[in-house]
Amino acid sequence: MTFPTGLKNSKGGRPAVLALVVLLQTSAAVFFVANALSEWREDGVGPQLWMQILVTLALILGVVLGAVELRRTLSHQEDQQATIAKASGEMHQVVQRQFDAWALSKAERDVAYLALKGLDVAEIATVRGAASGTVRAQLSAIYNKAGVSGRAQFAAHFVEDLLAEGLPGDPPA
């Protein structure tokens, strides 16, 4: 059985569990069908054969329902990943527009972006191949252009817009 590509990279275990259940149910259904056919050839139709047919039909129904649920789960997971990718792209555009509004230079944009990602001065200096003092000076210039006093306010400027709509579960205003 070939698993869908989204299954092996999934962070949640639900698709893997559903796939395993479908696989086990399919194997059991195949076994019961083969066994029922064998008994039908040997003994004809009897109460035990009817019971095996009933169990086989229940297993086949389980396989179908499990496969439907697996497909639904994978589709939902793909939709969520697409939504996250879209939101990430939109956030990147918001950040770039704000950098434009602040008239950040190319170097300042790079430093600002790394700061937003959570890198400290030493890490930014290493990534950029610059001295820590240079990075500190660039961060000061960025904070000045942004009208904030430090890293926390700088990051909060971007998070503030995301939270303006309220958090899930917040009571309506």
Residue 94 covered by a domain: no
What pLDDT is attached to residue 36? 81
What distance in Å separates the CA atoms of residue 15 and residue 13, rounded to the nearest whole number? Answer: 6
Token representation of residue 145: 């252009």
Q: Name the DSSP class of 12.
A: S
Is 28 in the same domain as 79? yes
Residue 74 covered by a domain: yes
What pLDDT is attached to residue 3? 41
Q: 60, 86, 112: which is the final residue of a domain? A: 86
Is 106 in the same domain as 77? no
**pTM of the predicted model, to two decimals?**
0.52
What distance in Å separates the CA atoms of residue 122 and residue 156, rounded to the nearest whole number? Answer: 22
Q: 32, 60, 86: which is the final residue of a domain? A: 86
Q: Work out the burial of residue 139: count CB atoms within 10 Å of its CB; fewer than 13 is exposed, 13-18 middle, 19 or more buried.
A: buried
Q: Name the DSSP class of 117.
A: T
Number of domains in the chain: 2
- Residue by residue, pLDDT tens for the chain (173 residues) are 444 444 444 456 777 887 888 888 888 888 888 888 888 888 888 888 888 888 888 888 888 888 888 889 889 988 888 888 887 778 888 889 999 999 999 999 999 999 999 999 999 999 999 999 999 999 999 999 999 999 999 998 888 866 765 555 555 55
What pLDDT is attached to residue 104? 94
| Residue range(s) defining the domain that contains residue 153 | 102-166
Is 24 in the same domain as 62? yes
Residue 93 covered by a domain: no
Residue 63 covered by a domain: yes
